[in-house]
Chain A
Amino acid sequence: SAVISQKPSRDICQRGTSLTIQCQVDSQVTMMFWYRQQPGQSLTLIATANQGSEATYESGFVIDKFPISRPNLTFSTLTVSNMSPEDSSIYLCSAGTFEAFFGQGTRLTVV
């Protein structure tokens, strides 16, 4: 099983600022995924991060708002840009070729 470390675990941010979330996997993986979970709701896929190429974004998510980096096969970052209170959510990264494992999540509150 893959061990995924995500940080920060939580943060409170001012509107208009940006936050970068880091995700580290203990083994090399081809694809990493970023999800958002708004309060009281299910998980929604933001984008797929592939090493060596631009991330692939799902409908409703754009690169300017959620830029993603994938510098190598074990690491990825998600930035939440120009934040508003509507961005308050849990953000989770995921990886796994067969089974799908998640980091512990980043609980973001925008005030």
Chain B
Amino acid sequence: AQKITQTQPGMFVQEKEAVTLDCTYDTSDQSYGLFWYKQPSSGEMIFLIYQGSYDEQNATEGRYSLNFQKARKSANLVISASQLGDSAMYFCAMRAKETSGSRLTFGEGTQLTVNP
């Protein structure tokens, strides 16, 4: 069984600063994928970034980067130069197999608040 753990229920950051949201995972699969999503108060799930278990380079997408440490089974999201619009709930998720499409296991989420 797969498990995702997000230990930070809430995080605060000052505008323009960087913030790291923690995510650890547990799986016995050799091939898996890790995702981060942003959920604003409207409820939609916005895809941010993806990291495959065999990817040697850490994934980056604009201001988002994923700090992937396979031996530690961690996949932390780093948001650089925080903006007020980054205030939202952030979910880490895992897909067990490459062929599983969007069959994901989610963590409990971290509520990020960006202060002006």
Contact = CB atoms under 8 A, between A and B. Distances in A.
Interface residues of A, number: 27
Contact of B103 (A31, A41, A92, A103): A31
B101 interface: yes
Interface string B32-62: 0001010000111101001000000000000
Interface string B77-116: 0000000000000010101001011111111110000000
A94 B95 CA distance: 13
Nearest to A107: B43
Interface size class of B (residues with CB under 8 A): 20 to 34
A102 B47 contact: yes
Contact of B45 (A31, A41, A102): A102
B101 A42 contact: no
Contacts of B42: 104
Contacts of A30: 101
B42 to A, nearest CB: 8
A100 B104 contact: yes
Interface of A: 1, 29-31, 33, 37, 41-45, 48, 90, 92, 94-105, 107
Interface of B: 35, 37, 42-45, 47, 50, 91, 93, 95, 98, 100-109
